[in-house]
Structure 1
Amino acid sequence: MTIFKKIKDLQEFLQLQNGKIVGFVPTMGALHNGHRSLIEKAKANAEIVVCSIFVNPTQFNDKADFEKYPVTTDADIALLMDSGCDVLFLPEVAEMYPDGLEKGSIYDFGYLETVLEGAMRPGHFKGVGQIVSRLLNIVQPNKLFMGQKDYQQCMIVRDLLRQMGKADTIELVICPTRREADGLAMSSRNRRLSEPQRVLSGILYQCLVSIQSKKSTDSFALVQKECTDLLKAKGIEPEYVALADAGDLKILDNYDGNDSMVALIAAKVGNVRLIDNLILE
């Protein structure tokens, strides 16, 4: 695996690849087996796999959250090498934001950035659009691999590709969420959980499964209340338990038998904020 820290060096390398299909996996590091699955998917569908590790300051609306974000570069490099990644792009903040954090293209995602994660984390998706657009312009991939765990972010990036005029040249590949044995979605934040908190966290997935299993028997409002009450009873602070159209994230008041739906959940376990989702069968 070749490691680049400078945009110029990475681009010169990619220009020498003679038109090979480039698969790109953008990350913020603290890699786990969910990231490994993205690399493996990219390996199976591209000829050159590029992974980036960059903890992007502009997408953190909470400075403390940014400062607590785990940095495990040596372990990340080992995982990428073991996964067969070809290229790691590992830039510093000054490389990605040479003119300062406030400069650069700002995208308007409309409704998508006003609900759920957008409502809970104002400005978050502006930062996502800012950094992902820069990375895409640098790497110029043919395929972009992202995990379904960040479902709303995937919808944001899909719209970003449209706004950048790259929807026809970059294929967005959304990969299934990788889970622990108890269903907890793999996440870099999980390592901040204490052991008792980690045991409790599996309840988030149980709630999503309950939302799916009861779609033919109960109203969503009833299931939503059951899940919220259960989380609170376990000492978990729910932020939202929601049902939405899987295509455009329009919030639904009740189950809709005609459209594909996604259940989404966000909650704080102690001071660790976790999100998850499940596309309803």
Structure 2
Amino acid sequence: MKIIHDPMLLRNNIKQFKTTGQEIVFIPTMGNLHDGHIALIKEGQKVASITVVSIFVNPMQFNNQADLKNYPRTLEADYKKLEAAGVDIVFVPSAEVIYPHGLETQTYIEVPVLSDVLEGKLRPGHFRGMSTIVTKLFNLVQPDHACFGEKDFQQLAIIKQMVKDMGMPINIIAVPIIRAENGLALSSRNSKLNAEQMQIAPLLARVMQQLAGDITQQTLNYDDSINKATQALEQGGFKPDAIDIVDAQTLQAVHSETKQAVILMAAYLGNTRLIDNKVVNL
């Protein structure tokens, strides 16, 4: 496994793989890797012989500087996991390498409509930063395939739209959420929970499952079900941030022609914001 920090060295290595006709799968991450990330890698290795993973905590997508500063960084442990998973290249650039002139004058990519709703409203600039860094990494790696988790449902929808709109010849592979035995969606943020909070955390998924059952029995007005879910989370020790039920294809309001809705959950447990989602057939 090669650990590369310099973009030109990365390009040279990619060129060598390309000249021998090998397909490349790419998994961009912010590190602090867990089994969910490894699942992305394993899925990608089914379709490509060369696996490239990036580790970069992207300052452009953090609107909270304290959140950026406190984001867990576990490089040495990450390297061991990636080597064990059979990764060929780990690209670990610095912020100075990615944004040599700073963020203020950096060209950016923005996907309209999909980036403006839901999480985009709650976290201004987040998806612009995400779209920009993913595009930049795509340009550097030139992958044939790229894997993203369905846990970040809105992010995945934005990336699919961006790749389509920009004519990028990249196959986007959506990988289902990996959960612990108790139902908790795996996340790097889980490491910030204390022992007591880890016992409470699976409630988010349980409430989501109950909400999913409720909406399949209802018309388009889900307010009562959302209120019930909000109360269940509050009683369990969460501080709900957002519970939305939208069309799974457009991320807009569910309507009479909607075939699939997606429940999007976000709630604080202490200072840690957890998210989850579930697609429901209507």
**Do these two structures clear the TM 0.5 threshold for a shared fold by scoring above it?**
yes
* Amino acid of the structure 1 residue aligned with 2:216: S
Please report how far the alpha carbon of residue 165 of structure 1 lies from its aligned counterpart in structure 2 after TM superposition.
2.1
1:3 Cα offset (Å): 1.1
Whole-angstrom distance in 1 between the partners of 2:165 and 2:96: 26
Deviation at 1:114? 1.9
Deviation at 1:257, TM superposition (A): 7.3
Number of the residue aligned with 1:25: 27
Look up the match of 2:225: 223
Q: Distance in 2 between matches of 1:10 and 1:149?
A: 29
CA distance in 2, matches of 1:264, 1:257: 20
Q: Matched residue of 2:54: which SS?
A: strand
| 1:37-186 to 2 correspondences below 5 Å | 37-166=39-168, 169-186=169-186
Check conservation: 1:34, 1:178, Cα contact below 8 A: yes
Asked if the contact 1:97–1:103 (Cα under 8 Å) also holds between the matched residues in 2, the reply is no
Question: Following TM superposition, by how much is the alpha carbon of 1:225 offset from its aligned partner in structure 2, in angstroms?
Answer: 1.1
Q: For residues 40 and 257 of structure 1, what CA distance do their matches in structure 2 show? A: 36
* Structure 1 consecutive aligned stretches of length 4 or more whose deviation exceeds 6 Å: none
- What is the distance in 1 between the residues matched to 2:104 and 2:133? 12
Structure 1 gaps of 5+ residues are: none
Are 1:242 and 1:251, in contact at CA under 8 Å, matched by a contact in 2?
no
- Structure 2: runs of 5 or more not aligned: none
Decide whether aligned partners of structure 1 residues 164 and 105 sit closer, same or farther in structure 2, where only a CA change above 3 A counts: farther
> In structure 1, how many angstroms separate the alpha carbons of the residues matched to 2:79 and 2:253?
39
In 2, distance between residues paired with 1:208 and 1:173? 25
Q: Which string of whole-angstrom CA distances, capped at 9 and with x for unpartnered residues, describes residues 107-158 of structure 1?
A: 2322212221111111101110111111000001000100000000011111
Deviations 1:142-183 (A, max 9, x none): 0010000000001111122133321xx101101000001111
* Residue 267 in structure 1 maps to residue 267 in structure 2: yes
Q: How big is each residue's C-alpha offset from its partner over 1:54-97, in whole Å with a ceiling of 9 and x where there is no partner? A: 00001000000001100000000011011111110011111111
Is the CA contact (8 Å cut-off) linking 2:36 and 2:178 kept in structure 1?
Answer: yes
Kept in 2, the 8 Å contact 1:210–1:223? The answer is no
> Where does residue 197 of structure 2 map in the other structure?
197
> What's the offset of the Cα at 1:258?
4.5
Do residues 245 (structure 1) and 247 (structure 2) align?
A: yes
Shift of the alpha carbon at 1:265?
Answer: 0.4
Alignment partners' CA distance in 1, 2:258 and 2:3: 48
Aligned residue identity for 1:201: A
Quote how far apart the aligned CAs of 1:218 are.
Answer: 4.0
Q: TM-score if structure 1 supplies the norm length?
A: 0.95
AA aligned to 1:13 is: N
Query: What SS is found at the alignment partner of 1:162?
Result: helix
Q: Say whether the 8 Å CA contact 1:50–1:87 is kept in structure 2.
A: yes
